[in-house]
Structure 1
Amino acid sequence: MPESAAYTGFTKTDIMSKMETAMRKGYGLYAGMGLALSAALIPLSTATAQEASVPKLIKIVVPFSAGGSNDLFARALAQKLGVKLGTNVIVDNRPGAGGSIGTEAVARADADGATLLLTSTSFATNAAVQAKLPFDPIKSFAPVAVVAKGAMVLVVGNGTPYKSPSELIKAAKDTKNTLNYGSAGPGSIGQLSTELLNSAASTTSLHVPYKGVSNAVTDMIGGNIDFMITTFASVGGQLKSGQIRPIAVTSSQRSKFLPNVPAIAEVVPGYQVDVWWAMFAPAKTAQPLVAQLNAAVREVSAQPEMVALFAQEGAEPTGLTPDQTTAYVGEEVNKWKKLARERNISVN
């Protein structure tokens, strides 16, 4: 049966024939036939609108320099999304201000799907520690998809005696000790994750900020700091060489990438930190287009090449829908804002 018959009971040939008859008789296009014609064309116009919804050129803005995980993920996604959507997809690196410059550019872009943002957990942590951002992390964007997420890892120097998270927490609670931890700097996910642990476990440790994770790792190997929470990728080489020791992961359960290492949640129930990468469109982007982009991202993210790329960061594709992505990002923003207030963490 022709598609229009499901809506009107007539085929397009029937309708055109009746229109011609009516016009010959001088009746004009009477209301009943007008409605029938409109209904018959609805499926066609809807399909046309859907086909035209994807722009001829999509630009994925990465608010960081080339070479990092955001950039690598964006470039791999761009190639695959271009094939999947039948369009051209390019990557535009706009680093600066901790990611705020590129993020603001997307917030101010037209809501036509031609400009997207690929960013990471810093989207939420920046909102928590920076009082004045040139955009609203919730109101300025239409979340498209959480592309991937994964655990972080709690590591210690080999010169420390700690072999498990419970031993570290016990030492941190002992007033005779002054444990210190490193991070990539004030307001970083490393600092926030550790302060979340201090809050949840009622422990105290001294923050030693560095200009980058690599400097902190070097000092931990040298025995100048006791521990740190960081990403898998940032310490992968040192873990393989045995220069540092992993004693816990931050996910709610053990990670498939370090299956013999316990989760902090096994000692501190409810503790969980995931690093994630997500795609956003400007606010007011049409929901059908958001849904179409989400479906494409989910499909290509599940391809073996993408899974292998995510694994380099200790992450996996999520498969979250637009609504689930919106809820997840909102929870992350609120979680880190609450912690920043409680622990008085700010970079302004």
Structure 2
Amino acid sequence: MIKHLAALAAVLTLSFNAAADTYPSKAITLVVPFPPGGTVNLMGRLIADRMGSLLGQPVVVDNRAGAGGTIGAAYAAKAQADGYTLLMGSMGQAVQPLLYKKLSFNGNKAFTPVATFATVPNVLAISTNTPAKNLSEFVAYAKAHPGGLNMASAGIGSINHLTGEMFESRANIKLTHIPYKGASPATTDLQAGQVNVLFANLPNVLPFAKSGKVRLLGIASDKRAAAIPEVPTFAEGGVKDVVVESWYGIMAPAGTSPAIVKKLQDTILTIAHEKDFVAHLAEQGAYPYPNSAADFAKLMDMEVRRWTGIIQSAKISMD
């Protein structure tokens, strides 16, 4: 019996390796579960272009947005586990099971983490008509006017919403949440002064901060960002324990051949160390963040543990 199992394992290993040797033999679809205009889409297109070059087959971005990223995730989860349909993963992916109790797929268990490649800091951006020039003035005004400042987000349960909830808790303030259908319309209304506050991925607001259309008061990181060295960390501004850096990686449907996962992982990690790719990330205010499949899985587990308390205390649910 033991010999039979060993022989079967050897056959399966050879089969997996053979599949990886010929992979990919056709175009790969990278499902981005959010609309164009946001950071997830931007990062997806950056990595897809380089993956296509190294793998010798096109990696085609397919935006399948809606329901907080769950529509695209469900599509990818139900795809054949052959390496030809991948999911652009982000921090939002990790917390979906905490927000949706009735997902049409098996949450994070429906995917095999492949590798991460980039991270971006989150920042507190305000409209130019909001009465604050720095973080301490902002907190003081918010405390004096509970609920008087409107906080935009890309939607209920989005990372900018959750970051805002964490900031409110740590700073002991109350903002009025206004969810949008994506980061792009939220940013547009912030520029127009229709809302006061947006906890945003830096790439979403960096061009508008440079042109003076929005004001950046602080960064949710343990260090200042090279792209905006004049902007202090939240801790420097007096609000401690708010460190939220959004990460981006590639995931495959559960059951994908380990050999194919490794080939994809090695490709992504190679890209994350390329000087040209790192330079492209820097232009967007992002940094390389290479993590293997094993470390990516640990990262997902850590995010679930970290956000469970925030989501429960704020009573955030999408059901």
Q: TM-score, normalised by structure 2?
A: 0.82
The SS at the match of 1:331 is helix
Going from structure 1 to structure 2, the CA distance change for 1:145 and 1:223 (only over 3 Å counts) comes to: same
Contact 1:124 1:336 in 2 (8 A): no
Match of 2:156 in 1: 186
Q: Does 1:49 align with 2:26?
A: no
Match of 1:114 in 2: 84
Alignment of 1:1-348 (within 5 A): 49=18, 52=21, 54-57=23-26, 58-66=28-36, 68-174=38-144, 178-217=148-187, 219-221=189-191, 223-266=193-236, 267-348=238-319
Going from structure 1 to structure 2, the CA distance change for 1:103 and 1:175 (only over 3 Å counts) comes to: closer
Cα distance in 1 for partners of 2:127, 2:285 equals 21
Contact 1:180 1:205 in 2 (8 A): yes
Q: Once structures 1 and 2 are overlaid, which stretch shifts more, 263-272 or 61-70?
A: 61-70
| Equivalent position amino acid for 2:303 in 1 | E
Q: Which runs of 5+ in 1 are unaligned?
A: 1-37
Cα distance in 1 for partners of 2:192, 2:53 equals 48
| Equivalent position amino acid for 1:338 in 2 | G
% of aligned pairs identical? 35
Contact 1:53 1:289 in 2 (8 A): no
Deviations, residues 54-98 of structure 1 (Å, cap 9, x unaligned): 332333222234565444443443343233234453333333333
Structure of higher RCO (CA pairs closer than 8 Å, 6+ residues apart) = 2
Going from structure 1 to structure 2, the CA distance change for 1:228 and 1:76 (only over 3 Å counts) comes to: closer
C-alpha RMSD of the superposition: 3.1
Going from structure 1 to structure 2, the CA distance change for 1:340 and 1:235 (only over 3 Å counts) comes to: same
Cα distance in 2 for partners of 1:47, 1:281 equals 15
Going from structure 1 to structure 2, the CA distance change for 1:288 and 1:176 (only over 3 Å counts) comes to: closer
Going from structure 1 to structure 2, the CA distance change for 1:109 and 1:219 (only over 3 Å counts) comes to: closer
| Equivalent position amino acid for 1:181 in 2 | M
The SS at the match of 1:265 is coil
Contact 1:145 1:297 in 2 (8 A): yes
Going from structure 1 to structure 2, the CA distance change for 1:183 and 1:297 (only over 3 Å counts) comes to: same
How far the C-alpha of 1:202 sits from its partner, in A, is 2.4
Contact 1:252 1:270 in 2 (8 A): no
How far the C-alpha of 1:155 sits from its partner, in A, is 1.6
How far the C-alpha of 1:296 sits from its partner, in A, is 0.7
The SS at the match of 1:257 is coil
Match of 2:3 in 1: none
Contact 1:154 1:249 in 2 (8 A): yes
How far the C-alpha of 1:51 sits from its partner, in A, is 5.0
Paired residues, what number? 308
The SS at the match of 1:146 is strand
The SS at the match of 1:148 is strand
The SS at the match of 2:235 is helix
Q: Which runs of 5+ in 2 are unaligned?
A: 1-6
Deviations, residues 160-193 of structure 1 (Å, cap 9, x unaligned): 3423323322333346783332223322222211
Cα distance in 1 for partners of 2:33, 2:181 equals 19
Contact 1:82 1:88 in 2 (8 A): yes
